Structure 1
């Protein structure tokens, strides 16, 4: 697939099935994330891969946080099963290093760029992915489970697998609604 075509037609598919990326394909996905813009060469990213029993662990982390928030039992159950929307979930973490010229915001943006690059690398290799977030990724129990400290943050959960459904058409947007010139 042509790179520009890939960028202009990217759509998330919310229902993914096995197989998950593995071997050289997964390695390419991670390497794409490592090519994100990185002011100061701080490498402000960490990727935690969950699959198989790891999806159970991730579901427990999320449901425990939902329980701690006194969430409705249906929400707790939804969080427990959320990781199973795909055969693999990569938790993308901004690992923030205090730096006089590179604020935490730049490091969060870099981790976000890593997530986008990883998603695009998956698509380029015939897989599909979607990026999820949610208020529980900021929960102290979730941070503790992932060993976050200081200004570290989870920037999202990247779900990867094969599409179970066709992606929706890309919405047409008018550039003039988003672009202006000084």
Structure 2
């Protein structure tokens, strides 16, 4: 599978100013726009259990907006080292049945009770977005930076869904870790599943979980005397 990337704009084209070029401003800060509602959303966001995501899920318009926001992430070199595969409607059951068939072939002693586990898994949430990382190893941008961009796309997707009132759960189970299973979903050579992001309407508001104390994870560098 050949992965193509959009061309990088030339210098002088919109968004194509070269690194290190002279700034286009006069050094005076623009009026600062403070959006408290956005901060409150980010301060209270939390992942919902998959069992808590119910119908209705995002419709076509909501999903298009969510994915457009997800694409507005840092992307050094404009490589677009990620993409999205959407599983919605009847496609969820069809994908799940194919995954179940593969899982049975890989696990011949699988109990009958688990014969349709992946079909049921994909039917739990109204919509699932498969986040695919596709770094270009030939690019000048380090692969690690490109992988981080894919992670940023996932977080932006979750935040956008939350802003529209939906719940989200980001998981990475067997279908995303197994190359054969991922291939059934359209993941190609050189690509890797970064997560299954399940979306739906929240059926409950679980209490927040403990968060890291900033004092324990933040340091300020200062030269030693």
How many residues were matched structurally?
182
- Deviations 1:90-146 (Å, cap 9, x if unpaired)? 111112223332233222221121111111101101111111112431212123223
Check the 8 A contact 2:175/2:182 in 1, yes or no. Answer: no
Check the 8 A contact 1:133/1:157 in 2, yes or no. Answer: yes
- Deviations 1:75-102 (Å, cap 9, x if unpaired)? 5533231112211101111122233322
Q: 2:142 aligns with which of 103, 116, 133?
A: 103
Say if 1:178 and 1:79 are closer, same or farther in 2 by CA, change over 3 A.
Answer: same
Q: 2:123 aligns with which of 81, 84, 91?
A: 84
Say if 1:66 and 1:176 are closer, same or farther in 2 by CA, change over 3 A.
Answer: farther
Distance 1:125 1:180 in 2: 34
What TM-score do you get using the length of structure 1 for normalisation?
Answer: 0.88
Task: Tell me the residue number matched to 2:78.
Answer: 41
Task: Tell me the residue number matched to 1:69.
Answer: 106
Q: Secondary structure at 2:48's aligned position in 1?
A: coil
Q: CA RMSD in A?
A: 2.1
Task: Tell me the residue number matched to 1:25.
Answer: 62
Check the 8 A contact 1:48/1:90 in 2, yes or no. Answer: yes
Q: 1:50 aligns with which of 77, 87, 94?
A: 87
> Residue 157 of structure 1: CA displacement?
0.6
What TM-score do you get using the length of structure 2 for normalisation?
Answer: 0.73
Task: Tell me the residue number matched to 2:39.
Answer: 4
Gaps of 5+ in 1: none
Gaps of 5+ in 2: 1-35
- Considering fraction of residues, name the structure with more helix: 1
Task: Tell me the residue number matched to 1:117.
Answer: 156
Check the 8 A contact 1:66/1:136 in 2, yes or no. Answer: no
Please say which structure displays the higher CA radius of gyration.
2
Check the 8 A contact 2:132/2:192 in 1, yes or no. Answer: yes
Say if 1:130 and 1:104 are closer, same or farther in 2 by CA, change over 3 A.
Answer: same
> Residue 68 of structure 1: CA displacement?
3.9
Say if 1:65 and 1:114 are closer, same or farther in 2 by CA, change over 3 A.
Answer: farther
Give the stretch that moved more between structures: 20-29 or 87-96: 20-29
Distance 1:39 1:57 in 2: 37
Check the 8 A contact 2:150/2:194 in 1, yes or no. Answer: yes
RCO comparison, higher one (Cα < 8 Å, 6+) = 1
Distance 2:159 2:204 in 1: 18
> Residue 17 of structure 1: CA displacement?
0.8
Give the stretch that moved more between structures: 55-64 or 39-48: 55-64
